[in-house]
Amino acid sequence: MNLAEGVQYISFLILAFLVIGAALGVVLLSNIVYSAFLLGGVFLSISGIYILLNADFVAAAQVLVYVGAVSVLILFAIMLVNKREDFSKIPGRWLRNLSTALVCTGIFALLSTMVLITPWQINETGPFVENTLVTIGKHFFSDYLLPFELVSVLLLMAMVGAIILARRDLIPELSQEDKTATALTLPERPRELTSASK
């Protein structure tokens, strides 16, 4: 995206203030539903910054994965649990607050130092990539083919494990004489029979 320098600067300032404001809202608001919605706002603002950097594929992945999946998953988890519990006083809470403040201040100082000492000059002699999607695809299937395939196998293993854990209520009880059966070889039981037998 080729915008004028002033438009890019103003757009970046607006998006940066949106990211900082929404992130502060996520941390400081006591209502967890508002915090989850503001987290989605943080992810959307970051995707806008990616668009300003001509990273259209990363911006689309940010919206699809984080806004469309992670934020919705967090909202579903919050609304399904729906557990309201009043805050109770914890003994020695001031010590926890002090240690949290020290850790946050240290991380902020480290990140501020990195921002200040990093040279931010734009390399004008570098190649301008017109279509980032094609370039990323070429790198995925040539230079980074092995890590790409390993990540896909890892995600497949995580998905199979999640399915087995989610369907644990459909596994019948093991009989005493059959000690060799595992969760992968057991037949499934319908939910109605499981709930009726309890």
Whether residue 76 sits in one domain with residue 136: no
On whether residue 101 sits in a domain, the answer given is no
Reported pTM: 0.59
Taking only the tens place, the pLDDT of each residue in 150-164 is 988 998 998 888 887
CA neighbours within 13 Å on the CB side: how many for 20?
6
Cα separation, 173 vs 15, whole angstroms: 55
On whether residue 123 sits in a domain, the answer given is no
Cα separation, 11 vs 114, whole angstroms: 23
On whether residue 112 sits in a domain, the answer given is no
Taking only the tens place, the pLDDT of each residue in 86-142 is 666 777 788 888 999 999 999 999 999 999 998 877 666 666 667 777 888 888 888
CATH code of the domain covering residue 65: 1.20.120.1200
Domain boundary among 25, 52, 83: 83
Which residue type does 101 have?
Answer: A
Which residue type does 11 have?
Answer: S
Per the structure, the count of domains in the chain is 2
Cα separation, 41 vs 29, whole angstroms: 14
On whether residue 89 sits in a domain, the answer given is no
Structural domain range at position 157: 131-174+182-198
